[in-house]
A and B are shown apart, each in its own frame.
Chain A
Amino acid sequence: DTGVSQDPRHKITKRGQNVTFRCDPISEHNRLYWYRQTLGQGPEFLTYFQNEAQLEKSRLLSDRFSAERPKGSFSTLEIQRTEQGDSAMYLCACQPLNTEAFFGQGTRLTVV
């Protein structure tokens, strides 16, 4: 257990619906990352927060995706008007400076 919690663990939604995922990081870690992982591939970077500031976003993060980290604690990732191509595992990670990243168990999204 890395101490990084993600909720829900699984989400099945119909195409066109909105979904929101939550990540509760290790409290003393101020660097938080979201990654997306499709079957058979390694995780791909989506976005990065330092405290409450979103400092970097990948080109993978289309306009339908939005992430927030109010108060620099938990973070949410919302996908609007979901598409089948959004089906993936969404991973949250905390990373203290100059050490490895600690990943949560992920949220598995299936868009039907």
Chain B
Amino acid sequence: GESVGLHLPTLSVQEGDNSIINCAYSNSASDYFIWYKQESGKGPQFIIDIRSNMDKRQGQRVTVLLNKTVKHLSLQIAATQPGDSAVYFCAERGTGFQKLVFGTGTRLLVSP
């Protein structure tokens, strides 16, 4: 079956450092991937997405890299800030009705 997973359950960094959160997926047919940020007690918040025909996409302080060969996705956050502390999920969009398949999440802790 399809699945999306993360390598690191918790990542602790110092303010100003760059953060990298990794994700592996198993459905090679997936064509769209999304990173979400979720703060405690809130719904997932969209960060950045990437389509399968791209290798890299940049946003404001965030970059997503997609390696289809090894089915790996990563989120890079530049100059991490305390406000970036949250749980980060990668998700892949399935075919058909396009439901999202989420991994278990990585908690990012940013120390001042």
Contact = CB atoms under 8 A, between A and B. Distances in A.
Interface of A: 2, 4, 6, 31, 33, 35, 40-45, 48, 50, 55-56, 91, 93, 95, 97-106, 108
Contacts of A108: 41
Contacts of B42: 105-106
B104 A43 contact: no
A11 to B, nearest CB: 14
B44 A56 contact: no
Contact of B99 (A48, A97, A100): A48
A93 B49 CA distance: 16
B73 interface: no
Interface stretch (B12-20, B52-60, B89-97): B89-97
Contact of B102 (A43, A56, A99, A100): A43
5 nearest interchain CB pairs? A42-B102, A103-B43, A45-B99, A100-B46, A105-B43
B89 A42 contact: yes
Contacts of B45: 2, 103
Contacts of B89: 42-43
Given A42-B91, A45-B99, A48-B99, A2 B43 contact: yes
Given A91-B43, A103-B45, A41 B104 contact: yes
Contacts of A6: 43
Interface in B57-111: 89, 91, 96-105
B21 interface: no
A102 B98 contact: no
B34 interface: yes
Contact of A106 (B4, B32, B34, B43): B43
26 contacts: A6-B43, A31-B98, A33-B99, A33-B100, A40-B104, A40-B105, A42-B102, A43-B100, A43-B102, A44-B102, A45-B100, A50-B97, A55-B97, A56-B97, A91-B44, A93-B43, A97-B98, A99-B49, A100-B34, A101-B34, A101-B46, A103-B44, A105-B42, A105-B43, A106-B43, A108-B41
